[in-house]
Structure 1
Amino acid sequence: MVQVIASKTKEPPPREGRIRHIQQYISRMPSLSTTVSKVMEICNRPDASPNDLNRVISLDPVLTGLVLKLINSAYYSLPNQVTSLARAIIMLGLNTVKNLALSTAILQTVGGKDSFKALSMDEFWTHSITVGVTAKAVSALKGIPGMQREEYFVSGLLHDLGKIPLSNCFPEEYGYVMEIASSQGSRMHGAEEKILGMTHCLVGGMIADKWELGGGLRDALHHHHDPDLAPEESQTLVSIVALADTCTHAYEGNPENCNPLEDSLLSSLLGKTGVSIEDLDKVRESVLKEIDKAKIFLQATQG
């Protein structure tokens, strides 16, 4: 089946050629802005304070507007409007502001309509949002501190970024990848490896290296299909993102359809993360309620 489909492609370049093409594509992607880099640097310091962030962000009118837009959106549903950047940073927390700045920079670079050729933009972001919301909900059940849960949401939201360059650089072949995955009921990364000789996880890792995305986010992009290979310090986050991704695929677009007993991979990840079927039932309920709010976060990052 794979050989027949692959033969339709006109003289596909060898794996090494495709990887070089992807590397060149990623090398041409703009670097993160100075403001975002400074925000990341500040938030990685143990002694960082809201005032430190305020001094940097206040010099960037666009990011200032996005922070105020988010704090005053239905995502938080505050009774009174917040007009002070300093107060918004305190209320949101350093981690949320960092994730907003980072998500904004990334999505404005690779998330536009022109970046989606073989992929459906709407389906891509619907899946990504659901994974992010599910990962955040599971992290809450596992007792992850509130300030860290946005990290799980953003890692889930961005976990499939590597698909975008693959779709953009090889639209015809990536169409075959999706056809194989759909017709054979297999996961995309397996079909990617067969047709392209690389996976979106590999490409996600390249993007993370380009932008110097450290810690759990980089590991989620690179290892969400093989969480055992993630560094020990990121195992919990990557495993939960992997669980959220697998569960979302099992939902088939509707969280109410998920049955973990019928999915061996999902059952394995439930065991790895220590999440029970009863926990998953609770997650389903919160996911359904939180998806619309998560779309507001995504809209805020897109300006």
Structure 2
Amino acid sequence: MNGLEIIDIIEKSDRLPVMSSEITNIINMISDYDTINIEDLAEKIASCGNLRESLLSNVNSGYFRLARKIESLSDAIVYLGMETVERLIIAYLIKYLIPNEMGRSKELNRGKYWKHCLGTSISATLLAEKIGKKDKYKYFAYGLIHDLGVALLDICVPHIVDEVVIAQQKGIHQIIAERLVMKGATHEQFGQWQCERWGLPEDIKEIVSHHHTPLMAKNYKEEVYILCIADSISSLYYERLLCLNTKYVLNKSVMKQMGITEEDIEEITKVLPMKVEEANKQLNFNLFQQ
């Protein structure tokens, strides 16, 4: 089964997540970055179930280590930055639309896969901090949703995910396994399709589409490069959780362009398991109800 055939199945699936008009309006507002009005955005969020309360609960969880309790969206923007808050909102909404519980693959360990997503978020944040990015938590949000394509496949064509996971268990790298099973396609392609369908911002689409193929990114290259390295660091951690060894490699060209050293990677790798467990206890993405 090739990529086009799989997309045809996904399009016809009654399991495909559907956005409410409220969520669509919020994402459209954030995507139109040049004209966004923070008061209008706050009003939309306040009218979208308990989104405001659940967002603030996570912001105040302790993970973000803020100097004081955040009482409002405006407060969060002051302390985290506008773009970071917007990306956290989108990540939160996508986790609501595609919770782990919707997945149907029998072979994928979703609890451990969620830790890979968290690991990517944390690694991206630490990398951004190392190279002096002020908006480091924006990269945390990217990590949560970079594997949107995997989640989509898990929901709509779980037997495909089963075949990929079984190939990985035999020592085949994830991307190679996907290309073998899906005749050249990978989860990046399906994630990109879903980003376009939902009208997600371009930076998110580039990351979802190219975190395994960073040199093909045309825009937001720095963001894509950071997520590429972060995904690799977290994949090594994830493989250890699953007792796999597919010889996952780091992209040395991207590391060189970003000024990231082997020592940086080693330092993050050492602290990552502890930080993932800590974040997993502090953050809760199941609070939102519409």
TM-score normalised by the chain length of structure 1: 0.79
Shift of 1:171: 2.5
Residue 129, structure 1, aligned to residue 114, structure 2: no
Give the length in aligned residue pairs.
281
> 1:63-212 residue pairs with structure 2 within 5 A?
63-76=51-64, 81-118=69-106, 119-146=108-135, 149-183=136-170, 185-197=171-183, 198-212=185-199
Q: Secondary structure at the match of 2:137?
A: helix
> 1:176-255 residue pairs with structure 2 within 5 A?
176-183=163-170, 185-197=171-183, 198-231=185-218, 233-252=219-238
Distance of 1:81 and 1:141 partners within structure 2: 26
Return closer, same or farther for 1:16/1:69 CA change in 2, 3 Å cut-off. Answer: closer
Shift of 1:145: 2.2
Distance of 1:299 and 1:133 partners within structure 2: 15
Distance of 1:297 and 1:215 partners within structure 2: 29
Q: Could you report, residue by residue, the CA deviation over 1:83-134 in whole angstroms, capped at 9, with x for unpaired residues?
A: 4454345344323332232122211111241324232210210111101110
Give the counterpart letter for 2:90 in structure 1. Answer: L
Give the counterpart letter for 1:132 in structure 2. Answer: S
Deviating beyond 6 angstroms after TM superposition, the runs of 4 or more aligned structure 1 residues are none
Contact between 1:115 and 1:164, CA under 8 Å: does it hold in 2? yes
Return closer, same or farther for 1:26/1:294 CA change in 2, 3 Å cut-off. Answer: farther
Distance of 1:182 and 1:279 partners within structure 2: 29
Distance of 1:202 and 1:272 partners within structure 2: 25
Distance of 1:168 and 1:139 partners within structure 2: 32
Distance of 2:59 and 2:174 partners within structure 1: 36
RMSD: 3.1
Unpaired runs of at least 5, structure 1: 1-12, 256-261
Residue 299, structure 1, aligned to residue 284, structure 2: yes
Give the counterpart letter for 2:227 in structure 1. Answer: V
TM-score normalised by the chain length of structure 2: 0.82
Larger Rg: 1
Between 1 and 2, higher relative CO (CA 8 Å, sep ≥ 6) is seen in 2
Shift of 1:176: 2.1
Distance of 2:215 and 2:166 partners within structure 1: 28
Contact between 2:214 and 2:225, CA under 8 Å: does it hold in 1? yes
Contact between 1:103 and 1:301, CA under 8 Å: does it hold in 2? no
Shift of 1:65: 0.9
Give the counterpart letter for 1:45 in structure 2. Answer: Y
Distance of 1:205 and 1:40 partners within structure 2: 17
Once the two structures are overlaid, the 10-residue window that deviates more, 193-202 or 109-118, is 109-118
Shift of 1:45: 3.3
Percent identity, aligned pairs only, is 23
Distance of 2:53 and 2:9 partners within structure 1: 36
Give the counterpart letter for 1:191 in structure 2. Answer: A
